[in-house]
Amino acid sequence: MVESLPKDPLITPELIADHGITPDEYERLKGILKREPTYTELGIFSVMWSEHCSYKNSRKQLKNFPTEGLQVLIKAGEENAGVIDVGDGWAVAFKVESHNHPSAVEPFQGAATGVGGILRDIFTMGARPVINMNSLRFGRPNSGQVQQLVDGVVGGIAHYGNCMGIPTIGGDVYYDETYETNCLVNAFSLGIMKIDEIQRGEATGVGNPVFYVGAATGKDGIHGATFASTELTEESEAKRSSVQVGDPFMEKLLLEACLELFQTDHIVGIQDMGAAGLTCSTCETASRGGSGVEIDVALVPQREANMTPYEILLSESQERMLVIVKKGREEAVHKIFEKWDLHVVEIGHVTDDGLMRVKYNGKVVAEIPAREIADDAPLYDPSASKPKYLKAVSAWQLSELPQPGSDMTNILMKLLSEPTIGSKKDIYRRYDHMVRTGTVVLPGSDAAVFWMREADKYLSLAADCNGRYCYLDPVMGSRIAVAESARNIVCSGGRPLALTDCLNFGNPTKPEIFWQFKACVQGLKEGCEAFNTPVTGGNVSFYNENPEGAIDPTPLVVMVGQIDKKEHITTQWFKKEGDAVCLLDGLQDDSLAGIGGSEYLRRIHDLKTGNPPCMDLKKEKALQDALLKAITSGLIRSAHDVSEGGLAVCAAECCFTAPMEVESEAVKLGAKLDFTSVGSRTPRPDALLFGEQQSRVIVSLAPENVTALEEIAKEFGVKCDLLGTVTGEELEITLNQGTLIKAKVDDLKKAWRDAYKNAAGLSE
């Protein structure tokens, strides 16, 4: 018999609405229970059926993603994170997840707990996390508010990752008006394990005890999951008790204890308590195990006196796990957690009645069919309609832009000074990116490269998404997100294997937003198919919106690839005086020559319009295949793909981005480049220099290898233009014998290096 507690509030329509449950959903809930819920049960339903946990608005669309592949060991949606095979009995688990709303309210703790949460998703799979990355989106840095946000978010990520001893080796950062009041904080983690060490989040074996391990439960983040599923308004000020505080030290102990536990065979399942805490982990493990779970929440270690079952179940206190232990092994499990000074308490057991039964000092306060609540959340198919702004966007013509003057060098300087394009060193030097001594390419190249010492394997990782492209054409923009991340992997010498995505959008109940969402899912799907890179998991973050409007759709992609041999590792900067510089071009058919949606158009002409660069995935694949063959044949010394800022910015970056050196001694190499042959297929000089046409890579190589490269290009139907030579201390770019760009590499580097400081007005 389920009982209400004396102090439980009366369930009224207002209370139901406060829990984010619609009248229809309430009827559905009663249908599952076959009675009215208790207050505790109402709380359970509200978090389990929140957008954050149930994906009720997005799930139907996400089913379109390709999720299968020979390399996939655990598919998207099966467990806390997907797992792929990297050969010789080794596997990696990885996932990206958003912590946008918590970071907007409390940047330091919001970002820190974002890192903590994704790490638990990884090590609950049995893997030791060895790589962190993050993808950040902020407003323009000229306001004190944004600067504080950047400082807080970066500080929080550094605090958690550094303390855990997991290197943060890459990611991406954009500064754009669209993120002014809705920053995006997407945290990625990857862990490594032997295939036979994979752990499952399931509760099986009737009578097996259920253990609670880790930190004590407080009132943190109560209703955090529902909080993340609504727009940020003035009222969210009042919901501030939702802020969770992270304790990376506790998590480090929890990590080491869990990894020690995984070396034994004492357990049948384990799941972290993330969003919706104990509630979610209990019913999900029961649902996956096809069983029931009974717990008594009075046994849960508590940080505050007099917590109610409702609070204990909904708390989002960090650094906690639920472990399903084999009967008879209780003592051994106790020993491991006690060694690490962690709470370890038996709070219940596995049953065979399919119910999630919650007791409080013996009294049953909630009893819900586990499978139904975990898997039968309401699913919606929100209506979608094409946004009106797109008409003007696609009508925009290059001829509307005034012909450029002769100040191209100046424009290049301005673009290099854009904080989105400029150096991110001020950020990544605050992250420990060297611990575990596997970071063989330090941050600053197209892709991060990590040597997994244990397995002697090289991984390559890249995070990409240009939200402006996705705003202007969601299908094209999302294709580009996948294509660029794959291209970055190939530039580093690797093969793309699989990806995880974090879909950041506005309010899905608005038809124009949902149209963007559907179109982005379509673009990502096409991208995944083109590169044979399945989606292994990820996360959807809706309601990134304020009263003035939604963010640009930002479907972030983190691609994981593998580099087969150490010799193939390639970086983006020029290596040697006298080397030849070539452009490999997939020849996308782009009527705006990459000017639509470009940084050039946005920052120099203050326009956010035009069709974004065109992405024919077949042409992109041909380019990547040609480049990978050239790299693995040993021809290439550096490879850098053309992205924000176009060919000129790309060429400049090749001259000065070598990060291995001590800053003051870094190698700088100039180049003399003739763009006449590329110019012959580009309508005007500004498009030639700053157009962001896709499927292009600048490579440098020994002059005697140019013929071999040209042959490979021909084989794949890719154009290879010989641009010039690595030489001197200047970057000089000419077109038909006229000089377009001429600048000292030192000056270019200075503009690029101080971009954020200058944009923020912080330079001395």
Please say whether the dihedral angle defined by the alpha carbons of residues 446, 448, 451 and 454, taken in this order, is positive or negative.
negative
Binding flag, residue 245, another protein (CB under 8 A): yes
Contact residues for 10 (Cβ-Cβ < 8 A; gap 6+):
none
Minimum separation from the CB atom of position 119 to another protein (A)? 13
Interface pick for another protein out of 431, 469, 471, 514 (rule CB under 8 A): 431
How many helices and strands, by DSSP H and E, does the chain display? 29, 28
Is residue 27 part of the contact set for another protein (CB under 8 A)?
A: no
**Minimum CB–partner distance for residue 249 and another protein (Å):** 3
Whichever of 190 and 374 has its CB closer to another protein, that residue is 190
Smallest separation, CB 446 to another protein (Å): 18
Instruction: Rule CB under 8 A: say whether 440 interacts with another protein.
Output: yes
**Is 103 within 8 Å of 154 (Cβ atoms)?**
no
Residue 318 CB, nearest approach to another protein (Å):
8
Backbone angles phi, psi at 524, to 5 degrees: -65, -40
Complex with another protein: residue 165 or 549, whichever CB lies closer: 165
235 binds another protein (CB under 8 A): no
Smaller CB separation from another protein, 79 or 311: 311
Q: Is 194 in the site for another protein (CB under 8 A)?
A: no
Question: Whose Cβ is closer to another protein: residue 218's or residue 477's?
Answer: 218
Residue 352 binding another protein, by CB under 8 A: no
Footprint (CB under 8 A) of another protein, residues 104-143: 105-106, 109
Q: Which of these, 72, 48, 62, 16, lies nearest to 499 by C-alpha position?
A: 72
- In sequence order, which residues have a C-beta less than 8 Å from that of residue 391 and are 6 or more positions away? none
- Kindly state whether residue 101 participates in binding another protein, applying the rule CB under 8 A: no
Does residue 433 belong to the site contacting another protein (CB under 8 A)? yes
Residue of 50, 80, 189, 439 that binds another protein (CB under 8 A): 439
Compute the distance between CA of residue 669 and CA of residue 689 in angstroms, rounded to an integer. 20
Smallest distance, another protein to C-beta of residue 658, A: 10
Please, which residues have CB within 8 angstroms of residue 692's CB and are 6 or more apart in sequence?
594, 595, 597, 598, 599, 600, 613, 642, 643, 644, 645, 646
Q: What is the dihedral of CA 303, 307, 310, 313, to 10 degrees?
A: 20
Question: Binding string to another protein for residues 267 to 306, with x set by CB under 8 A, is what?
Answer: ------------------------------------xx--
Find the helix packing angle between 39-48 and 277-289, rounded to 10°: 70
Q: Is 386 in the site for another protein (CB under 8 A)?
A: no
Site for another protein in 211-230 (CB under 8 A): 215, 218-220
Distance of CA 45 to the CA centre of its chain: 28
Minimum distance from residue 23 beta carbon to another protein (Å): 32
Kindly tell me the sign of the dihedral angle through the C-alpha atoms of 146, 152, 158, 161.
negative
Strands 719-726 and 580-585: antiparallel
Q: Which of residues 67-86 bind another protein (CB under 8 A)?
A: none
**Crossing angle of the two packed helices 330-339 and 248-262, in degrees rounded to 10:** 140
CA angle 196, 200, 203 (to 5 degrees): 135
C-alpha to C-alpha distance for 693 and 159, rounded to whole angstroms:
38
Q: Angle at which helices 144-164 and 107-123 pack, to 10 degrees?
A: 30
- Nearest distance, CB of residue 654 and another protein, angstroms: 19
Q: Which is nearer to another protein, 357 or 433 (CB)?
A: 433
Among 14, 196, 341, 764, binds another protein (CB under 8 A): 341
Residues 694-707: b if buried by 16+ CB within 10 A, e if exposed = bbbbbbbbbeebbe
Binding positions for another protein, 533-572, rule CB under 8 A = 566
Choosing from 263, 362, 662, 737, the residue that interacts with another protein (CB under 8 A) is 662
Give 213 or 649: the residue with its C-beta nearer to another protein. 213
Q: Does 661 bind another protein (CB under 8 A)?
A: yes
Q: Out of 281, 287, 317, 609, which residue is the one contacting another protein (CB under 8 A)?
A: 317
By beta-carbon proximity to another protein, the closer residue of 248 and 646 is 248
Half-sphere exposure of 101 (CA within 13 A, CB side): 31
User: Can you say whether the dihedral through the CA atoms of 107, 108, 113, 119 is positive or negative?
Assistant: positive
Q: Residues 77, 165, 717, 728: which binds another protein (CB under 8 A)?
A: 165
Distance CA 649, CA 657 (A): 12
Torsion sign, CA atoms 18, 20, 23, 26: negative
Choose between 244 and 695: whose C-beta lies nearer to another protein. 244
Q: Which is nearer to another protein, 307 or 325 (CB)?
A: 307
Are the C-beta atoms of residues 125 and 79 closer than 8 Å to each other?
yes
419 contributes a contact to another protein by CB under 8 A: no
The piece of 238-246, 325-333, 415-423, 707-715 that touches another protein (CB under 8 A) is 238-246
Which of 453, 576, 618, 714 binds another protein (CB under 8 A)? It is 453
> Which residue's structure tokens are 């020559």?
593
Three-class secondary structure assignment of 584-602: EECCCCCCCCCCCCCHHHH
What contacts 471, CB < 8 A, 6 or more positions away? 178, 477, 516, 552, 553, 597, 608
Q: How far is the CB of 306 from another protein (least distance, A)?
A: 12
Identity of the residue, 340 or 505, whose beta carbon is nearer to another protein in the bound complex: 340
Residues 565-624 that bind another protein (CB under 8 A): 566
Count interface residues toward another protein (CB under 8 A): 54
Question: Closest CB to another protein among 392 and 660?
Answer: 660
Residue of 27, 234, 589, 665 that binds another protein (CB under 8 A): 665
Query: Which range in 20-28, 50-58, 337-345, 617-625 contacts another protein by CB under 8 A?
Result: 337-345
- 335 binds another protein per the rule CB under 8 A: no
User: Which residues are marked as active site?
Assistant: 52, 99
505-515 exposure pattern, b = at least 16 Cβ within 10 A, e = fewer: bbbbebebbbb
Tell me how many degrees the CA angle 690-692-694 measures, rounded to the nearest 5. Answer: 145
Residues that bind another protein (CB under 8 A): 105-106, 109, 155, 158, 162-165, 215, 218-220, 240-241, 243-250, 252-253, 303-304, 317-318, 339-341, 428-437, 439-440, 442, 451, 453, 566, 660-665
